[in-house]
Every structure is written in C-alpha cells, then in structure tokens.
Amino acid sequence: AQSVTQPDIHITVSEGASLELRCNYSYGATPYLFWYVQSPGQGLQLLLKYFSGDTLVQGIKGFEAEFKRSQSSFNLRKPSVHWSDAAEYFCAVGDGGGGNKLTFGTGTQLKVEL
Amino acid sequence: GAVVSQHPSWVICKSGTSVKIECRSLDFQATTMFWYRQFPKQSLMLMATSNEGSKATYEQGVEKDKFLINHASLTLSTLTVTSAHPEDSSFYICSARVQDGYTFGSGTRLTVV
C-alpha cells in the first residue's frame, strides 16, 4: 500500500529565509506526487505536482519540488519565504491507476517569523 | 480551472440528527468523487470513493450506514452523516478527479452538540 511520510510536524523560519519541507513516499510503481497547502478552516490548494518527465517541478507562489526516485523523496523548496506562506503543507501520493486514490502525509505546519 | 463547490461551510447540529453535505462540480463532470475527514491538526483520511451511478466504496473502518454517500449525477455528490454524535464532529472535504490531478472543495466544519 502507498504511504507518505512528512518527518517534520512543525517548522519555523524567518521571513526571507529559504525553506525545505521533506516528503518521503512508498509506492511500488512510478508515483503521482503532489504538494498542497491548507490555510486554517480552508480546503486544499495545489502547489505543484509530478507525474513524469523533468524531476524538478515548478509550482505556484515560487515553490518548487524535486523528485528523487533513489531516495523516494519529493521535497518542497522555496528560496525566500514570505509571511503569507504560513500554513499547513501536505504531501500526497496518488496511485495513478484505476483507484486514483490520494494518500496524504501527516502535514507540516509552517510558521514564519517576521 | 475545475472548481468544486462544497456546502455548507460549517454546520452545527444536535446529537441524533442527520446532516447532509453537498459537493457540486461547477464547470466539469465529476465521474469520481472522494470524501475525506480531517481531525484538528491532523491529515486527511479518505473515507470513501464514489462513482456516479454506483455504490460508494468505503475505506476500512468507515461505517457506511452512518456516512451515506450519494453520487446520483455527474455534478453532484452528497455525504449524509446520519444520527450524528459529538465524535462525528470534524472537518469534511470532498475532492474530484480531474484531468491533471484533483480539485478540492473548501470543506465543511461539522460540530455536533
């Protein structure tokens, strides 16, 4: 069964600093990988996704992620964090097959210090 | 882009009553809809997958008689929490499969008192 691990429950960074959120997945074939952001009491907004091709994926709001098959990772990065980036971030893996189910990680709460 | 409209955004109900949550795909046809439950400061847990015109497939441990899912049309899926109890209080989110991934509703905060 597919699974996702986000090792960091909370991360605090200073505004303007760089950010990396870790995500490791377990899946038997080539995974469909996603990063979502959630503000309190809101739904999920897609930041970026990887299906195939270039392993460095660019997303919205200046985010990027790199798929590393050898490490089963899909870490999210941003060169300079803004205070408005404070939110909950979820990594997810989709099975891509008939079920198309998404499995989410436990999330990383990002706090940005001004 | 593809939008799923979820209503209500929040609802408070008395214990023992039933609550219906609706998700409508506004500009596309949602063949498959997923229903998630999210506890405070926790991840999203898939409850069930519904396909238009057929019975929903529930995840292990989810009571299908308590959480009734109907997907009668390609633009509407509903989740009814029957005989709600305080432990059913949670944040419920629907999601639809789209061409390039998934789109999510804005969620429903259910509080059972």
Tell me the per-residue pLDDT of A38-59, one tens digit each, with 9 for 90 and over: 988 888 999 999 988 899 999 9
Does A11 have pLDDT greater than 60? yes
Question: What's the pLDDT band for A104 if we cut at 50, 70, 90?
Answer: very high
Residues of chain A positioned with their CB less than 8 A from the CB of B104: 36, 43-45
Does A36 have pLDDT greater than 50? yes
Among the partner residues B32, B97, B106, nearest to A43 by beta-carbon distance = B106
How would you class A96 by CB atoms within 10 Å of its CB: exposed for 0-12, middle for 13-18, buried for 19 or more?
middle
Q: What are the two backbone dihedrals, phi and then psi, of residue A105, each rounded to the nearest 5 degrees?
A: -75, 175
Q: Which chain A residue is nearest to residue B92, measuring alpha carbons?
A: A43
CA distance B21 to chain A (A): 14
Give tens-digit pLDDT for B3-32.
999 999 999 999 999 999 999 999 999 989
**CB–CB of B106 and A106 under 8 A?**
no
Mean pLDDT for the stretch of residues A13-36: 92
Give tens-digit pLDDT for B57-105.
999 999 999 999 999 899 999 999 999 999 999 999 999 988 778 999 9
User: By percentage, how much of chain A surpasses pLDDT 90?
Assistant: 75
Structure tokens at B47: 């409850």
The CA–CA distances, whole Å, from A53 to A50, A68, A75, B83 equal: 8, 12, 17, 48
Question: What's the pLDDT band for A99 if we cut at 50, 70, 90?
Answer: low
Question: What's the pLDDT band for A96 if we cut at 50, 70, 90?
Answer: low
Which range is least confidently modeled, A73-82, B52-61, B81-90?
A: B52-61
CA distance B57 to chain A (A): 10
Answer left, alpha or beta for residue A91, where phi above 0 means left and psi between -120 and 50 means alpha: beta
Q: What pLDDT sits at residue B64?
A: 93
Residues of chain A positioned with their CB less than 8 A from the CB of B11: none
Give tens-digit pLDDT for B40-51.
878 899 999 998
Question: What's the pLDDT band for B56 if we cut at 50, 70, 90?
Answer: very high
**Within a 10 A sphere around the Cβ of A56, how many other Cβ atoms?**
11
Q: What is the mean pLDDT of chain A?
A: 92
Residue for token pair 């309190």: A40
Does A97 have pLDDT greater than 60? no
SS3 string of chain A?
CCEEECCCCEEEEECCCCEEECCEEECCCCCEEEEEEECCCCCEEEEEEECCCCCEEECHHHCEEEEEHHHCEEEEEECCCCHHHCEEEEEEEECCCCCCCEEECCCEEEEEEC
Quick check: A102 contacting B, CB < 8 Å?
yes
Among the partner residues A49, A90, A94, nearest to B43 by beta-carbon distance = A90
The helix/strand/coil state of A92 is strand
Mean pLDDT for the stretch of residues A73-83: 97
Q: Which residues pair with B74 in a beta bridge?
A: none
Does A98 have pLDDT greater than 50? no
C-alpha B106/C-alpha B86 separation (Å) is 22
